[in-house]
């Protein structure tokens, strides 16, 4: 069994983990990221690169190169309400370099960060490495143990373990951090559909009276997200594929026969939605960020952006103490204090945006009052553009570290 000493070890190679590792290494910290999968290729995961994240790419001097990757620009987001298209969020007046959301496959985004990390001394990425347990010394977390796909095992000792391993975080479970569960009345079914040249421009969100359908333009195919009542997946399957295809066609701005492509339930992937937050994000020697600290609803596409903002704040606060060897619990508490308000505010906004449901889990016939208010007062779409595009407390690269 191999033993390695580092300044910091990060569990999870998603947006939060990769960005935190890259920026900590950028600040001189010796950091290792462990990602349990052998690659970043997961079909149905958040792919909204928000204007605030694009601003970070600009501050790092990477924006032009980053935007060479395949992506689609969304200068605003729409929904269908009572048969008409309504602008829910307008990004055109943001005080940022890019006034749009970039829809980009998350694997491209993560591969880009990995490529940049390889050029930074002190950055190490280990793919196909699963976290097995946390190490403890003198009442503190002092690192973690891992196992790779070949069955090899090892330990990485470090004064800080960052849990960025998602909503089913091993780190937060091992650390015994208490979760506050806000519940969710819905799940989402993801599937692909071929995109044809004469298809209509993407509406991004197309809402019906009982369910919602989200269409994301992937260039040569649509990524479709179909909202269902939580726990109703098996009932839906019992009704059969023809009924499922008809339900999709009733919501989509596409001909009904397009959904004949869905020939098997193997093409449909269930995403179990949850919304929660840790009561405390840290314990001595360990800190959780991103979905490990606060699982978000897909509403508004906030999750990736919030995770990246957590990572920037963590790097800004922790890089100095880690390099100097003076990390304390107070530093970990500062990260939570910095990011707690935007997390609470974002989850509150998501709860305002979701439909009310009755005791049977059935959605209300009308959209939420907050969304109807935006439809009546279009100026509010600019406010929503700011909240979605920048977040409640956008983070930045320190000025003395920027490359622009």
Residue 25 shares a structural domain with residue 86: yes
- Please report the pLDDT score of residue 46 as a whole number: 66
Residue 262 shares a structural domain with residue 283: no
| HEC per residue, 105-151 | CHHHHHHHHHHHHHCCCCEEEEECEEEEEEEEECCEEEEEEEEECCC
Measured distance CA(265)–CA(271) in Å, rounded: 14
Provide the mean pLDDT of the chain.
Answer: 87
Residue 57 phi, psi dihedral angles, 5° rounding: -60, -40
pLDDT in tens, 136-149: 999 999 999 999 99
Beta bridge partners of 269: 190
- Please report the pLDDT score of residue 209 as a whole number: 37
pLDDT over 90 for what percent of the chain?
56
Contact residues for 280 (Cβ-Cβ < 8 A; gap 6+): 177, 178, 336
The DSSP H or E segment spanning 103 is: strand 101-103
Tell which of 237, 271, 305 closes a domain: 271
- Please report the pLDDT score of residue 208 as a whole number: 40
Tell which of 271, 291, 308 closes a domain: 271
* Highest-confidence segment of 73-77, 221-225, 292-296, 345-349: 292-296
- Please report the pLDDT score of residue 138 as a whole number: 92
Residue 214 shares a structural domain with residue 327: no
Residue 72 shares a structural domain with residue 97: yes
Residue 357 shares a structural domain with residue 221: no
Tell which of 239, 271, 303 closes a domain: 271
Q: Would you call 372 helix, strand, or coil by DSSP?
A: helix
The DSSP H or E segment spanning 189 is: strand 186-194
The tokens 């699982």 sit on which residue? 295
Are 180 and 277 in contact by the 8 Å Cβ rule? The answer is yes
What is the tally of structural domains in the chain? Answer: 2
Provide the pLDDT confidence category of residue 218 given band limits of 50, 70 and 90. confident
Residue 342 phi, psi dihedral angles, 5° rounding: -60, -30
What is the arithmetic mean of pLDDT over 296-307? 81
Checking if the pLDDT of 270 tops 60, the result is yes
Residue 86 shares a structural domain with residue 147: yes
The tokens 């090899």 sit on which residue? 152
Residue 89 shares a structural domain with residue 39: yes
Measured distance CA(185)–CA(374) in Å, rounded: 23
pLDDT in tens, 325-358: 999 999 999 999 999 999 999 988 877 766 554 4
CATH code of the domain covering residue 349: 3.50.50.60
Measured distance CA(292)–CA(277) in Å, rounded: 8
Residue 283 shares a structural domain with residue 134: yes
Q: How many CA atoms lie within 13 A of 322 on its CB side?
A: 29
Of 154-163, 171-180, 332-341, 365-374, minimum mean pLDDT range: 365-374
pLDDT in tens, 90-117: 999 999 989 999 988 888 999 999 999 9
CATH code of the domain covering residue 258: 3.30.70
Residue 59 shares a structural domain with residue 10: yes
Checking if the pLDDT of 285 tops 80, the result is yes
- Please report the pLDDT score of residue 157 as a whole number: 97
Residue 79 shares a structural domain with residue 152: yes
Measured distance CA(134)–CA(140) in Å, rounded: 10
pLDDT in tens, 227-269: 888 888 999 999 999 999 999 988 888 888 999 999 999 999 8
Instruction: Pull the structure tokens for residue 87.
Output: 């602008």
CA distances from 179 to 34, 132, 353 (A): 23, 21, 23
Residue 163 shares a structural domain with residue 24: yes
Per the structure, the complete domain to which residue 212 belongs is given by 186-271
Residue 266 shares a structural domain with residue 383: no
Measured distance CA(336)–CA(314) in Å, rounded: 9
CA distances from 200 to 133, 254, 264 (A): 50, 8, 26
């Amino acid at each position: 069994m191999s033993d390695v000493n580092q300044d910091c070890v990060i569990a999870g190679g998603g947006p939060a983990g990769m960005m935190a590792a890259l920026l900590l290494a950028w600040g001189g910290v010796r950091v290792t990221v462990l990602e349990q999968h052998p690659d970043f290729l997961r079909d149905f995961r958040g792919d909204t690169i928000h204007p605030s994240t694009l601003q970070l790419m600009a501050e790092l001097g990477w924006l032009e190169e980053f935007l060479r990757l395949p992506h689609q620009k969304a200068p605003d987001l729409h929904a269908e309400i009572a048969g008409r298209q309504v602008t829910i969020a307008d990004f055109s007046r943001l005080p940022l370099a890019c006034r749009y959301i970039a829809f980009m496959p998350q694997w491209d985004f993560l591969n880009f960060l990995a490529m940049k990390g390889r050029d930074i001394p002190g950055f190490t990425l280990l793919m196909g490495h699963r976290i097995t347990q946390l190490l403890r010394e003198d009442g503190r977390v002092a690192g973690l143990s891992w196992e790779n796909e070949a069955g090899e095992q090892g330990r990485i000792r470090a004064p800080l373990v960052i849990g960025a391993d998602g909503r089913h975080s091993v780190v937060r479970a091992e650390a015994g951090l208490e979760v506050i569960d806000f519940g969710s009345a819905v799940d989402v079914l993801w599937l692909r559909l071929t995109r044809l040249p004469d298809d209509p421009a993407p509406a991004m969100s197309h809402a019906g009276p009982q369910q919602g359908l989200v269409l994301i333009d992937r260039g040569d195919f649509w990524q479709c997200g179909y909202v269902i009542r939580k726990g109703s997946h098996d009932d839906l399957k019992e009704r059969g594929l023809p009924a499922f295809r008809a339900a999709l066609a009733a919501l989509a701005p596409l001909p009904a026969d397009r959904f004949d492509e869905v020939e098997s339930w193997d093409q449909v992937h269930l995403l179990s939605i949850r919304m929660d937050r840790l009561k405390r994000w840290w314990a001595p020697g360990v800190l959780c960020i991103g979905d490990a600290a606060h699982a978000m609803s897909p509403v508004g596409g906030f999750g990736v952006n919030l995770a990246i903002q957590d990572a920037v704040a963590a790097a800004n606060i922790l890089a100095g103490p880690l390099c100097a060897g003076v990390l304390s619990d107070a530093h970990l508490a500062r990260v939570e204090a910095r990011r707690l308000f935007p997390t609470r505010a974002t989850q509150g906004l998501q709860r305002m945006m979701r439909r009310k449901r009755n005791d049977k889990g059935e959605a209300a016939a009308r959209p939420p009052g907050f969304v109807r208010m935006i439809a009546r007062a279009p100026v509010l779409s600019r406010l929503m553009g700011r909240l979605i595009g920048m977040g409640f407390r956008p983070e930045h690269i320190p000025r003395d570290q920027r490359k622009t």
